[in-house]
Amino acid sequence: MFKLRPLMLATTFVTTLALSTAVAPVLAEESEQSEQLPLEELRMFAEVFGRIKSAYVEPVTDEQLLEDAIRGMVAGLDPHSSYLAPDDFGSLQESTSGRFGGLGIEVGMKDGFIHVISPIDDTPASRAGLQSGDLIIKIDDTPVQGMGLTEAVDLLRGEIGTSVRLSIMRDSADTPFEVEIERAAIKSTSVKSRLLADGYGYVRISQFQANTGEELNKALEKVSEAEPLKGLVVDLRNNPGGVLQAAVDVSDAFLKEGRIVYTEGRLERSELSFDAKADTAVPMETPVIVLINGGSASASEIVAGALQDQQRAVILGTQSFGKGSVQTILPLSEDRGVKITTARYFTPSGRSIQAQGIVPDVVVERRSMTDADTPEVDIVRERDLTGHLENGDESKPLAEELSGEDFQLYQAYTLLKALNIVSKR
């Protein structure tokens, strides 16, 4: 059974539909009350409590009223603070371990609708084509406008193997469309890797879980086992956050010194600072490009901000989500607690990411290269001549493959090659 302990969170607003919650253990301390209780407001609370008990159309228990009051009080603080009932604790533990049930999306509220912050790789949501920025306007036949996030999440949850029908609004679509998704047990691997070409590696981090740092080291060994890396692309697109310590570990793999991230808050122990160790998993002379977009949030922004400020990597893509606050879980009992915002985090240079995000060094929008974009499309080459001799290797050129399937990655790859050439000269 999951035993409650205080936790510090650096993540987007988390539901059990989605990913790992950024978790780094920290001692949560209760601040001493410096002011007297507001007696007039407490009298009003007691009066409302009594009026509901006596006049509401149906009987309501004291326990239900008080729990609802706590939930409303915490939810009114900001989008990332919430009251955690027993079920929420179980979901939190599952999500941070990388094994949990649901659709595989990170969600929040926007304009009264459910906002998809990011789908998680290799989950029902990503396979169904959900995208960062989508708005869920109906769940099955129930409109979500005006509905609380918790209520909406309860509708999205369900037995593994059952389906839910979502009505989606997307900026690029003229009208809403429906997607049916089958709920599943989510078992996600946070790091994947492959070679883009000889000496050029690609590492995709879909979320920051407790073991992501270890997974990254294994992935780096894999892509560099044939020959030393000439360059590396680290893909953080649509990575909505995760374990704070994992973000530190990932940053530390590329840095040999200097600050990675620090936090500032009202509680003394909410002020933390993390610095890089001398050992690096990637040699400092190896060019690194980090891919981000609007679905990159929280822990992803910690990594991107650290590597950008330390001038260790070129950040490429589009502006990130902008979630720069830290949440701490304060226990109320063995199976209940509150998750409240206790600090903001800052990049090494002192930038606050909150509501701003990381601005890429090189802005590249999501798109695909069309024939009209391809230079010299009408030039006749040797391979176009009838009866030409074959090369012996008929595999499709990597650049051509990437330009069609992932334009941002294609741009990162070409920039890596350029950086490698310049460094040699």
User: pLDDT of 13-36, one tens digit each?
Assistant: 333 333 333 333 333 344 444 468
Q: Is 309 a catalytic residue?
A: yes
Catalytic residue among 190, 298, 300, 320: 298
Model confidence, pTM: 0.74
What is the tens place of the pLDDT at every residue in 87-110?
A: 776 566 555 555 556 898 888 877
Catalytic residue among 323, 339, 403, 417: 323
Structure tokens at 262: 């620090």
Q: What mean pLDDT do residues 248-277 have? A: 94
What is the tens place of the pLDDT at every residue in 30-69?
A: 444 446 889 999 999 999 999 999 999 999 999 999 999 9
Neighbours of 392 (CB within 10 A): 5
Q: Is 323 a catalytic residue?
A: yes
- 232 pLDDT more than 50: yes
Q: What mean pLDDT do residues 224-233 have? A: 94
User: At CB < 8 A and 24+ separation, what contacts does 394-401 make?
Assistant: 398/196, 398/197
What domains does the chain contain, in order, with CATH numbers? Answer: 103-187 (2.30.42.10)
Three-state secondary structure call for residue 418: helix
**So what's the pLDDT on residue 405?**
76
User: Residue 215: in which H helix or E strand, if any?
Assistant: helix 212-223
- 370 pLDDT more than 80: no
Q: What mean pLDDT do residues 348-361 have? A: 95
Degrees to nearest 5, angle at CA 365 with 202 and 407? 45
Catalytic residue among 121, 134, 252, 309: 309
- 253 pLDDT more than 80: yes
Three-state secondary structure call for residue 362: strand
Across 127-136, 198-207, 361-370, least confident range: 361-370
**So what's the pLDDT on residue 185?**
82
Q: Is 298 a catalytic residue?
A: yes
- 168 pLDDT more than 80: yes
**So what's the pLDDT on residue 388?**
64
Q: What percent of the chain has a predicted confidence (pLDDT) above 90?
A: 54
Closest-CA residue to 297 (of 208, 189, 188): 208
- 167 pLDDT more than 60: yes
